[in-house]
Chains A and B, each alone.
Chain A
Amino acid sequence: MPVEFCGIELEHPIVNASGTYDALAARRVFGDAFERNFPFSAYVSKTITLDPRAGNPPPRLWELGQGMINSIGLPNKGLVRFVEEDLSEYATLPAPLIVSVMGFSVDELIAILEALDGRDEIAALELNFSCPNVKTGNIVGSDPVECEAMMTQLRAHSDKPMIAKLAPSTSRPDLVAMAAESAGADAVSLINTLPGMAFAPGTSRPWLGAGSGGISGPAVRAVALGQVVRVSTSVRIPVIGMGGVENSRDAQQLLDAGARLVAVGTENFRDPAAGNRISAGLAQPAESAANPD
């Protein structure tokens, strides 16, 4: 089931959520079979920041009954080494490349966009708006005013399709998405992880090294469905829906809710070939949906 997304023809609607699949590591681990059976119709990179980041101190994971909490902390090589070392390798993957970027200020984001704008290896950019405005403390991706102001400033600095990744901690994701759209976003993606924490067993101290983290997995699926319905009925630009997708039935629900593409995240950790399984399941006739793959 081919699908058009921001002018890009994709073979099917299943992509990965940023930060849930290191395709370069997977290629080393699984070899040719990984490339021959690439799980996604487009590949979304882990988030790149201007400066290198080591990420958060471990422990970084906490398991839940229906998902997990992570506090990974956006470890990455930084813009310069990403462009020099990784971009050409990503370009050899058998799927269009969407690069996820985050800045801690408008100027940082503009510097990243300008460095990436001329790179033909990149089909689109995803703007990870889950970081706070350092002046106001508001999360850009959950505040319509912040989001519109940020998007307006960024739009002039890249001709590439721009996907605004919203933050879920808002009662009105539709207003944030509409703000992104009116400021020139080509698409929106949601939901990011929900903030949460866990105590270390037998204590009242945080387990995670960073204190708190983001909840993902089936635990957030209903939140995702609710927000995707609300957003996709409010904007004309395409929506990438994600949150707790484990099988083709979950993916179909997000498509039915109005998403153009569906991203698989945490399920990749349990099944490296989850993307293959889910896209194949979507292509099956509806009557087999009782036993979704």
Chain B
Amino acid sequence: MSVVARPQAPFGRRIVHVTDRRVAGPYVALTARDRGGPAPLAGQFYMLMTPTTWGGGADGRPYLPRALSFARAVSTADGIALDFLFEGVGPGTDRLMEVGVGDELLIAGPFGNGFALDGERWPVLVAGGIGLAPIVALEDELRELDGVRATTFVGMRSIDHASAAGLYELEHELATEDGSAGHQGYVTDLVKAHLEEHAESTVYACGPAAMLEAVRVLCAELGVPSQLAMESGMACGFGACYGCVVPTKDGFTRLCVDGPVLDGSQLDTALISGAPH
């Protein structure tokens, strides 16, 4: 397993400008130009808020910044072009949905550990819904490595949701719950069929808690290593608040500094309570 040093997050927050906004089904992808931060590792995340009008939505929220994994990071002569993919599912993401080209975001990060690539084994990437973001980033990272072949499975509710994968020209096999495109059913059906043929795989997954739990159980049964990018309500992103802990075999673990990617073997369950974003 390769061990890559985490990039050092600049201390504090910084302003980034939004340079692109694209819509795919219910999802929005924002590209922001980060002139102050390092190139992040796939699976790392940033804390995002808007510098103005952060608050005043449902129940007067949002108040806290929102933790979002990046979907793509492209180094340019003018900083890193960072992509964030999200869906409006609460006051924070609803506010981010309103952000347009030329607007500013306040970000801090990159935070967290990111995926740890296991170069000896077949990478199997599994994305569910908005969990697509770090999987796109990981596929980008793998493409840079010579001779590494990856297989990517994407699960979406419908063809409309699946259009998000098209934003990133992601090579993948698709499952939709309603059968409007690809395999009708859960993405884990596809993953199971693959792993039963190729036990020499390592699974890297991000998606809803139920999907992560199905992946964790499947991998445990088949003896396949799994790395799960998880989500938990988070206030700070840098280990200060102790709010984002998840139960692991070693006790409560802060997802922001010891995750968000946890090894499936560390967990008794990946079914943790989410928080309204």
Given contacts A21-B240, A25-B238, A58 and B247 within 8 Å (CB-CB) = yes
Nearest CB of chain A from residue B108's CB, rounded to whole Å: 6
Q: Are A33 and B257 in contact (CB under 8 A)?
A: no
Which residues of chain A are near B246, meaning CB under 8 Å? 58
A59 at interface, CB cutoff 8 A: yes
Minimum CB distance partner of A75 in chain B? B242
Q: Are B245 and A63 in contact (CB under 8 A)?
A: no
Q: Which of A33, A37, A59, A72 contacts B241 (CB 8 A)?
A: A72
Which residues of chain B are near A79, meaning CB under 8 Å? none
A118 at interface, CB cutoff 8 A: no
Minimum CB distance partner of B13 in chain A? A271
Q: Which of A31, A37, A59, A65 contacts B63 (CB 8 A)?
A: A65
Q: Are A60 and B245 in contact (CB under 8 A)?
A: yes
Which residues of chain A are near B2, meaning CB under 8 Å? none
Considering only CB atoms and an 8 Å cut-off, how many residues of chain A contact the other chain? 41
Q: Are A54 and B251 in contact (CB under 8 A)?
A: yes
Q: Which of B63, B242, B244, B257 contacts A68 (CB 8 A)?
A: B63
A61 at interface, CB cutoff 8 A: yes
| CA distance in complex: A33, B9 (Å) | 9
Q: Which of B12, B49, B254, B276 contacts A201 (CB 8 A)?
A: B276
**Stretch of B154-162, B194-202, B228-236 on the interface side:** B228-236
B142 at interface, CB cutoff 8 A: no
CB neighbors of B among A170-218 (8 A): 201, 209, 217
Considering only CB atoms and an 8 Å cut-off, how many residues of chain B contact the other chain? 41
CB neighbors of A among B187-205 (8 A): none
Given contacts A20-B240, A65-B55, A29 and B252 within 8 Å (CB-CB) = no
Which residues of chain B are near A64, meaning CB under 8 Å? 59-61, 63
Q: Are A269 and B272 in contact (CB under 8 A)?
A: no
CB neighbors of B among A40-97 (8 A): 46, 54-55, 57-61, 63-68, 70, 72, 75
Binding site for B on A (CB under 8 A): 19-22, 25-26, 28-31, 33-34, 37, 46, 54-55, 57-61, 63-68, 70, 72, 75, 201, 209, 217, 266, 268-273, 276
Q: Given A29-B257, A60-B243, A64-B60, 16 more contacts at CB 8 Å?
A: A20-B241, A26-B239, A33-B10, A58-B245, A58-B247, A59-B232, A60-B245, A63-B63, A64-B59, A64-B63, A68-B64, A68-B235, A75-B245, A268-B236, A269-B235, A272-B240
Binding site for A on B (CB under 8 A): 8-13, 49, 55-56, 59-65, 108, 111, 232-236, 238-247, 251-252, 254, 257, 272-273, 275-276
Pairs across A and B, CB under 8 Å, 10 listed:
A26-B240, A37-B11, A55-B242, A63-B62, A66-B60, A68-B64, A72-B242, A269-B236, A272-B13, A273-B12
